[in-house]
Amino acid sequence: MNAQSLHGHLDALLLAVLERGAQHGYAIIEALRARSGGVLDLPTGTIYPALRRLERAGYVSSAWSVVNGRERRTYELTDAGHRALAGQRSSWREFSSTVSRFLDVAEPPSAPA
């Protein structure tokens, strides 16, 4: 799946990954890949700009840390990020439910008599 297919949903996915705790960028990419069964194999050029956007919005904070002897930027949800994720989940459920009414139909409704 390419980044364009995720338009409008990537931020929610990143917030959901960070809900489990602070992670560095590569770990976030790996979590997306693992939790999606390999479907979401997104490049760093997609993830890092999105993380910076979320940080500017106040949903994510970051700090430098040393992981296995290497300096890495670690990201974590802020309180505003937790609230944003809750709102995104609610919007997703409503959107998904509405779209399912159309796409999950086994056969078209019969025409009125």
Structure tokens at 50: 């999105």
In the chain, pLDDT over 90 holds for what percent of residues? 70
In a domain, 112, yes or no: no
Is the predicted pLDDT of residue 98 greater than 70, yes or no?
Answer: yes
For residue 113, being part of any structural domain is answered with: no
- When pLDDT is averaged across residues 64-73 and rounded to a whole number, the result is 88
Which range is most confident: 5-9, 96-100, 107-111? Answer: 96-100
- pLDDT for the residue 76: 97
Note down the domain range covering 36: 3-103
Give me the number of domains the chain comprises: 1
Query: Domain for residue 111, yes or no?
Result: no
Sheet holding 60-67, edge to edge: 23-24, 70-77, 60-67
- Alpha helices per DSSP H over the chain: 10-18, 25-35, 44-56, 79-103
Q: Is 105 helix (H, G, I), strand (E, B) or coil?
A: coil
* Whether residue 79 has pLDDT greater than 90: yes
The enclosing H or E element of 60 equals: strand 60-67
Check whether 3 has a pLDDT greater than 60.
no
CATH of the domain at 69: 1.10.10.10
State pLDDT tens for residues 29-64: 999 999 999 999 988 999 999 999 999 999 999 999
Alpha-carbon Rg for the chain, nearest whole angstrom, is 18
Measured in degrees and rounded to the nearest 5, phi and psi for residue 49 equal -60, -35
